[in-house]
Amino acid sequence: MRMRILCLMLCLATILPMGSWALAAEEPAAGSYFLVDGNVCEDPGLTVYNGITYVSLVNAVLALRPDAIIGWEGEYVVVTAEGLDLRARVGDQYIQANGRCLYVLNGVIDGGGRVLVPVRTIAQALGGWVSWNQESGVVEVYSGESPIASGDSYYDSDSLYWLSRIINAESGNQPLDGKLAVGTVIMNRVDSPRFPNTIYDVIFAPNQFTPASSGSIYREPNAESVVAAKLILEGVRVGGSSLYFVNPSISPNSWAQRNRTYVTTIGAHAFFS
C-alpha cells in the first residue's frame, strides 16, 4: 500500500500544485491511469492517438525511475539518472536514449502542456516492457533491471558510418521520412540475394549510387542523417520493398521508372521495388 501511494504521489507531483496530494487517496477512474509493477500511477495525459497509447513522459519516468532528474534544455525535455540520458522534443519522430534513437510513428506530442510519448517507447528506453490487460483495459508497465543499452554498444560503428553518409549524400535535404526511405533501400538491398550483403558493398557496387563515385559520400553527415541511420539500424523501414529511388525532376524517364514497379513518392524521390 505504501508503494502504491508513493508512486501516485510522485506522478501527481508533476502535474498538481503543492497541497493537492490529498487527491491521491481516491481511486482513479479507468482510462486515467496505468500500472507500474502493479502499482497505480494516475496520468491525466494518458490517451490513444492514431491507435497508439501515449502517456506523460514525466509521469512514466518518475514511476519507473524515481531517482531521475528532469529538466529542460531549450525545446528538449531532458532526463538523467544512473545509466540513463534521455531527450525528447515535441514534434520529433523519435526520442533519444543513451545515444540510441527510438522511433515514434506519430511523433512526440503536446498533451495540454504535457510531453506525451508512446508507453511502449518510454518503457523500452528505461529497460522495461508493456502488456495490455484485455479484461480491465489497463496498460501494465514493468520495470527492467537497467535502462536501454548504449548506442556505442548497440550500433555497429562501420554500418552507422556508411549508412549515415549515403543517407546524407542522397537525401540530406529531405524530410526525415525521405531519409528513412533511402536507408530502407540500402537495407532492402543488403537483404536481397540480387545485391551484396553488406552496407558498404551495396553502396560501392559499380554504377549504383552516384555519391560513391563522385566522392560526396565522404562528406560529414548532418545530424538528422545520423538520426535516420540509427533509426534504420533499430529496424525502422519506410517505403516498403523499395530497391531503387530516383529524383524525377533530375532524371526523368529513368531506368527505374521504365522497368520497376512504383511504390511511393517521399519528398523529392520516387521509390520503386
The confidence band for 133, taking pLDDT boundaries of 50, 70 and 90, is: confident
Instruction: Check pLDDT > 60 for residue 170.
Output: yes
- Cell numbers found for residue 264: 511511393
**How, if at all, do strands 115-118 and 109-110 pair?**
antiparallel
> Measuring CA to CA, which residue among 67, 114, 113, 73 is closest to residue 96?
73
Q: Domain 2-148: give its CATH architecture.
A: 2-Layer Sandwich (3.30)
The confidence band for 137, taking pLDDT boundaries of 50, 70 and 90, is: confident
**Rounded CA gap, 140 and 133, in Å?**
7
The whole-number pLDDT of residue 134 equals: 84
- Give the pLDDT confidence of 52-110 residue by residue, as tens digits: 999 999 999 999 999 999 999 999 999 999 999 999 999 999 999 999 999 999 999 99
Domain boundary assignment for the chain: 2-148, 155-272
> Measuring CA to CA, which residue among 223, 3, 34, 37 is closest to residue 45?
34
Q: What CATH code would you report for 155-272?
A: 1.10.10.2520
The whole-number pLDDT of residue 22 equals: 25
Query: Do the domains at 2-148 and 155-272 have one common CATH topology?
Result: no
The whole-number pLDDT of residue 24 equals: 30
CB 240 within 8 A of CB 263: yes
Q: DSSP state, 109?
A: E
Determine which helix (DSSP H) or strand (DSSP E) holds 2, and give its type and residue range: helix 2-13
The whole-number pLDDT of residue 26 equals: 38
